[in-house]
Structure 1
């Protein structure tokens, strides 16, 4: 039985990886700074959870023991976590090599090396760490999640306004589709190319206004859609279409079908 260790296995993509791996009959361990309780929605029966911290290295060796592959779904969006994001990746890879892990798969963001936004810069730095690893590595770059634009809409809807970025199009993808791609790469045959990068995208490319209209109808909100320019590095990134991968429509779950599965969209 293949053993898979999921780093960050309690996040929105990580827990989907855990679920799919268990469904496939794999032996699954999860490392997290705060392992979930048995009653948490982030907890999956059958997986073994370990308290571990990539910023210090504590607990990594135990969590990785016996794993053939590690799937890195860790996030570091803010503050200290973002500052130490790449270093944490280096510690995880070093511990994985020490434990005899043969492959590491990293979740990243499409064209993160072409943006000056701090979060994207941290992702690109971590990708470079993976490219220098002694392990075989695969970086899976995904387009933005359905949940990202939904969070923007939900925040604005609290004051009955649904914000839309002018000139922005998205190719949103579901966390479960991303998880499926990560697991497929983890279980794939050894590659002749030691360090590979793969880009995956959602099934449809839509303007943000179109997505807002779909969300408003599904959620039953009466908020007014308001367009405004998004300044800074992220605005430039989105307007240039660097968040799109028209030739890589990997995801199957459309924005509509994903919304229909969410209890709070009814």
Structure 2
């Protein structure tokens, strides 16, 4: 079995990668800035947690020691984090190379290089860092997560409205399905080019209004659907359908199925 280092091992996708890898019998080192305490529900039994920070390099060597592959599931949500996101990726890869890691896999977003939206641009910049690395690397681009839509609908519902972006369709995917693809890429036998990129999309493409109605039915929300224009880079990205990959539908969990499973936390 392989020793796998998961950077961002407590995040939405990272914790799913950790869980799956442990279940398959691999040795897992979860790298995070604030490891969950022993006994916490956020801590996967059987995984080893390391406090480390890609912004400074502190703790990376210990987390990567003996690993055969690293899976980067880190996020950069704040403005400051986005500004240093690619640099953090470079620091992680350099430490991985020093540790003798053979392969690195990174989670990204479909067509992020075709948007000026800052969060997406930071993802594209990190992709370039991986592409130029001396390691064997794989970029896995995924469509938006089910939870993104649920969060948007829930935020508006507090004001008795459910926002629906005009002209927007989505192909949402479950974090667990993305985690499975990341792990599969990490464990593939080396072949072909040193760097590869592939995409994975959710099983269904739906108008945002249809998804909003499904969320409303699952949550019992009394909010009114309101179609709104979305200006700026994100609006342009969605209206152009750049968040969709019809040719890469993954036979995984639908938005409706995810809502049913997540009912208690919505």
Q: TM-score, normalised to structure 2's length? A: 0.98
Q: How does 1:90-239 map to 2 (within 5 A)?
A: 90-239=90-239
Q: 8 Å contact 1:219–1:265 — kept in the other structure?
A: no
Change (3 A) 1:74 1:198: same
Q: Which residue of 2 aligns with 1:56?
A: 56
How many Å separate the matches in 2 of 1:151 and 1:141? 21
How many Å separate the matches in 1 of 2:265 and 2:80? 33
SS of the residue aligned with 1:221? coil
Per the TM alignment, residue 264 of structure 1 is displaced from its structure 2 partner at its CA by 2.5
SS of the residue aligned with 1:105? strand
How many Å separate the matches in 1 of 2:11 and 2:41? 10
Structure 1: unaligned runs, 5 residues or longer:
none
Q: 8 Å contact 1:18–1:47 — kept in the other structure?
A: yes
Per the TM alignment, residue 251 of structure 1 is displaced from its structure 2 partner at its CA by 4.3
C-alpha offsets along residues 123-172 of structure 1, whole Å, 9 cap, x if unaligned? 00000000011100000000000000110000011111100000000000
How many Å separate the matches in 2 of 1:149 and 1:72? 23
Q: How many residues align?
A: 266
Q: 8 Å contact 2:218–2:263 — kept in the other structure?
A: no
Q: How does 1:14-93 map to 2 (within 5 A)?
A: 14-93=14-93
Deviates more, 1:254-263 or 1:199-208: 254-263
How many Å separate the matches in 2 of 1:44 and 1:153? 30
Q: 8 Å contact 1:54–1:89 — kept in the other structure?
A: yes
How many Å separate the matches in 1 of 2:111 and 2:249? 16
Q: TM-score, normalised to structure 1's length? A: 0.98
Q: 8 Å contact 1:157–1:223 — kept in the other structure?
A: yes
C-alpha offsets along residues 96-132 of structure 1, whole Å, 9 cap, x if unaligned? 0000100000000000000000001100000000001
Q: Which residue of 2 aligns with 1:259?
A: 259
Give RMSD over aligned pairs.
0.9
Per the TM alignment, residue 265 of structure 1 is displaced from its structure 2 partner at its CA by 5.7
Structure 2: unaligned runs, 5 residues or longer:
none
